[in-house]
Amino acid sequence: MGRIGRAKIAIIGSGNIGGILAYHATSRKLGDIVLYDIVEGRPQGKSIDISAAAREDEFDLRIVGTNDYADLKGSNIVVITAGATRRPGMSRSDLVHINSKIMKEVSEGIKKFAPNSYIIVVSNPLDAMVTLCQRYTGFPHHKVMGMAGVLDSARFATFIAWELGISVRDINATVLGGHGDSMVPIVRFANVNGIPVTELLERKYKGDKSHAKKVMDQLVERTQTAGGEVVKLLKDGSAFFSPASSILTMIEAIIQDQKRLMSASAYLTGQFGVYGYYVGVPCIIGAEGVEQIVEFTMNEEEKIMFDKSVAAVQELINSLNDPPNAA
């Protein structure tokens, strides 16, 4: 019998997210890891450090730190976390020009050495970077996706859990649209094991519907600005623990063919009335990457918010100085 292979996961960008992601991917025994970075020593140092956790964390995996794209050979999944992060006062869009250049270089490396991989883009501004990555690699759209919705939905769930004093594990929350401050938390879908959050808030506030609505509006706004809230507090970087956990959810869904439904930035071909753009929508993620985009009927308010969010993504993509040929 031939050797039974195990997954190989490449992480481009060995900064805060890349390092934590590599650590958790190994401690969850998801596969061998290649950590790449442009900075010499950073991926090598982190790979030695993570390797030395293997005995205590009980995993037998290979972690390679490198500055050479050739080490990506044979990767099943490539996660792109390379790029600049926001500083206080910056929007994600402010990163577009610097990170576009990085995306070109990274995509070319992946195309050359891991032509059969699935790609999860994490770098900001997210939806624009996924778009560029797909165009530069030329990979099929279902194999190139962006992580943002899992994180934004987790943030929404967290804030609801704190407000209600209930375990976050029982909270379902969905955030769609572009990964910017106009993202769209779907209030109608927020529930605690099926019980609508709006009803629980009304009960908590003794039937005072207008106060309950105000509280929900605040939860929505906090979700939309949660990334910036962390940036402001950290001062020299952005969130990294929760983004890493959210990426792991997507990696596991692909490697284990879970067919889970989650928000991800996926290429729309008419779904929700959008043609030819990457935007956060409900997707089934499995062994084939984005296997399906799950449509539902938005109400008027949701549609207005969603269209506004999509317009922001479109404006950013159309503003790129050197837009590659449209796919």
Closest CA to 220 of 183, 185, 182, 171: 185
Which of 16, 224 has the CB closer to ligand TXD? 16
If one asks whether residue 82 binds ligand TXD (CB under 6 A), the answer comes out as yes
Closest CA to 10 of 142, 124, 119: 119
CA–CA separation, 24 and 17 (whole Å)? 11
Distances (CA, A) of 264 to 164, 177, 291: 27, 9, 12
Shortest Cβ 55–ligand TXD spacing (Å): 26
If one asks whether residue 39 binds ligand TXD (CB under 6 A), the answer comes out as yes
CA–CA separation, 160 and 215 (whole Å)? 10
If one asks whether residue 135 binds ligand TXD (CB under 6 A), the answer comes out as no
Beta-sheet pairing, 144-146 with 63-66: unpaired
> Contacts with ligand TXD in 213-242 (CB under 6 A)?
237-240
Phi then psi for residue 139, to 5 deg, are -70, 155
If one asks whether residue 18 binds ligand TXD (CB under 6 A), the answer comes out as yes
Cis, bond preceding 282 (omega within 30 deg of 0): no
If one asks whether residue 243 binds ligand TXD (CB under 6 A), the answer comes out as yes
Which of 177, 192 has the CB closer to ligand TXD? 177
Binding residues for ligand TXD, how many (CB under 6 A)?
A: 34
Q: Say if residues 30 and 7 touch (Cβ distance below 8 Å).
A: yes
Q: What tokens does 33 get?
A: 């890891």
If one asks whether residue 42 binds ligand TXD (CB under 6 A), the answer comes out as yes
Stretch that binds ligand TXD, among 58-66, 78-86, 201-209, 276-284 (CB under 6 A): 78-86
If one asks whether residue 151 binds ligand TXD (CB under 6 A), the answer comes out as yes
Told to judge if 179 belongs to the known catalytic residues of this protein, a careful annotator would answer: yes
What mask, x for binding ligand TXD by CB under 6 A, covers residues 266 to 305? ----------------------------------------
Beta-sheet pairing, 191-192 with 195-196: antiparallel
If one asks whether residue 262 binds ligand TXD (CB under 6 A), the answer comes out as no
Residues assigned a catalytic role: 179
Kindly list the residues in this chain that would bind ligand TXD in the complex (CB under 6 A). 12-18, 37-39, 42, 81-83, 85-86, 95, 99, 102, 105-106, 122-124, 126, 147-148, 151, 179, 237-240, 243
